[in-house]
Amino acid sequence: MPRYLLFFKPYGVLTQFTDESGAGRPTLKDYIDVPGVYAAGRLDSDSEGLLLLTDDGALQHRLTDPRYGHPRTYWAQVEGVPTPDAVKQLESGVIILGARTRPAKARLLTEEPGLPPRTPPIRFRKSIPTAWLELTLTEGRNRQVRRMTAAVGLPTLRLVRVAIGDIRLHGLQPGDWRPLTPAELQSLKSARTPPRG
């Protein structure tokens, strides 16, 4: 039977089972002892949050193929306070690496989200305030959230993926994993959209 896991990836962990550089960095192998599963998508080592792992190749392909618009939701702690104009720019699309990003959902969170502390903590600068943005994207370009916030003058200090589609990170601590529930799996499979054009 195929396996489907939800993992709260901690900061600094590679989204693979071996560190091919030989530098001894932490990998999924340090947390997950289920044979044959692989990450469906990537999450940079300096990002945290929800990672799906599976041995279902067809679902893995659909989740990672850019032609399918699976929404991914992130909480980004940024340096500075976003203006309404900056939020609108993020929603309508910004130019990164010479191409405009797809329209996204963006909003300023009115209070700090209830996340576990990051290890190591971010570096605060007393003279510069920080704020939290929620961004929902339907594409997964390399370091996209960080590049988007930088494009509107708001460098990202901490980045946590909190949802893929309707599947949310609730109830896990960094380093924890659990199987998807039948309802979560059904939601993920029913959300498969046909390729565009």
In the chain, what are the domains?
A: 1-69+167-197 (3.30.70.580), 71-164 (3.30.70.1560)
Name, in order, each residue with C-beta under 8 angstroms of 149's C-beta and a sequence gap of 6 or more. 76, 78, 90, 133, 155, 156
Known catalytic residue: 33?
no
Residue 191's pLDDT band, with cuts at 50, 70 and 90, is: low
From the list 19, 33, 44, 166, the catalytic residue is 44
Residue 19's pLDDT band, with cuts at 50, 70 and 90, is: very high
- pLDDT of res. 177: 97
Given a cut of 60, is residue 144 above it in pLDDT? yes
Of 162 and 187, the structure prediction assigns the larger pLDDT to: 162
Min mean pLDDT across 6-20, 58-72, 154-168 is at 58-72
Given a cut of 90, is residue 140 above it in pLDDT? no
pTM, 2 dp: 0.92
d(CA 83, CA 81): 6
d(CA 3, CA 194): 24
pLDDT tens for residues 79-131? 999 999 999 999 999 999 999 999 999 999 999 999 999 989 888 788 889 99
Given a cut of 60, is residue 195 above it in pLDDT? no
pLDDT tens for residues 38-92? 998 889 999 999 999 999 988 887 777 767 678 999 999 999 999 999 999 999 9
What mean pLDDT comes out for the span 15-34? Answer: 93
Report the mean per-residue pLDDT for the chain: 91
Residue 6: closest CA among 134, 153, 164: 164
Look up tokens 């600094």; give the residue.
12
Exposed, middle or buried by CB within 10 Å (0-12, 13-18, 19+), for 14? buried
How far the first Cα of the chain sits from its last, in Å, is 33
- pLDDT of res. 10: 97
Given a cut of 70, is residue 11 above it in pLDDT? yes
Given a cut of 70, is residue 14 above it in pLDDT? yes
